[in-house]
Amino acid sequence: DAKTTQPPSMDCAEGRAANLPCNHSTISGNEYVYWYRQIHSQGPQYIIHGLKNNETNEMASLIITEDRKSSTLILPHATLRDTAVYYCIYTNFGNEKLTFGTGTRLTIIP
Amino acid sequence: EAGVTQFPSHSVIEKGQTVTLRCDPISGHDNLYWYRRVMGKEIKFLLHFVKESKQDESGMPNNRFLAERTGGTYSTLKVQPAELEDSGVYFCASSLSLAKNIQYFGAGTRLSVL
């Protein structure tokens, strides 16, 4: 199973940028980095994905290091609704299973 | 556009009984996945359908679990007979083929086996 390493928990003040790190040192060349989050009592929600270039969408930005062994998810202006468990996952681009780790529990503080 | 829907949202049964969970994927999504989170554990993959065919069922825990997707639309996951350790939240997800493996999840079914 593809394994990633994330801090178990983080706090961030409302309105500030939340930066969530992930280590994926065993990622192979054809595997993408995906970020999902799970808000309490809901199913996981896709946020963003990338291969080697930095990516941005309406939800977040993804910064992947040049050696691809780590990445950072950035929520530019965190709101209380961003409180959730964030999962960093890597897998092939094809339609394959997602391997969830323990994730990072992000708490946005008013 | 309707998302992935799961039914029931919560089921409470006694050990030894049978339970059937249903998942309706997003219309047009050929890929359908089942996952579950048992108490205190991580979300684990169970199996993957492409249309009506089982593409990967490597995560199915044992033969008490039977998943079907007749006609390639909705899917059912039957647990027979249920055991205490089957308690947890069962998630269904769907995705388009060739769609970058973006999976859309339902809200889950919470199964409690007493």
Residue range B42-98, pLDDT digits in tens: 999 999 999 999 999 999 999 999 999 988 899 999 999 999 999 999 999 999 876
Residue B6 has pLDDT above 60, yes or no: yes
Report the pLDDT value the prediction gives residue A95, as an integer from 0 to 100: 66
Average confidence score pLDDT of chain A:
93
Residue A2 has pLDDT above 60, yes or no: yes
CB contact under 8 A, A97 and B50: no
Q: Half-sphere exposure of B57 toward its Cβ, with a 13 Å CA cutoff?
A: 14
Distance of residue A104 Cα from the nearest chain B Cα, in angstroms: 12
Quickly state the pLDDT bin for B100 (edges 50, 70, 90): confident
Provide CB contacts within 8 A for B79, sequence distance 6+.
B18, B19, B20, B21, B64, B65, B86, B111
d(CA B77, CA A4): 29
B 24-63 residues inside an 8 A Cβ radius of A: 31, 33, 35, 42-45, 48, 50, 55-56, 59
Test the B interface: residue of A97, A102, A104 with most B CBs within 10 Å = A97
pLDDT > 90: percent of chain A: 81
How many CB pairs below 8 Å do chains A and B form together? 60
Contacts of B100 in chain A (CB under 8 A): 32, 49, 93
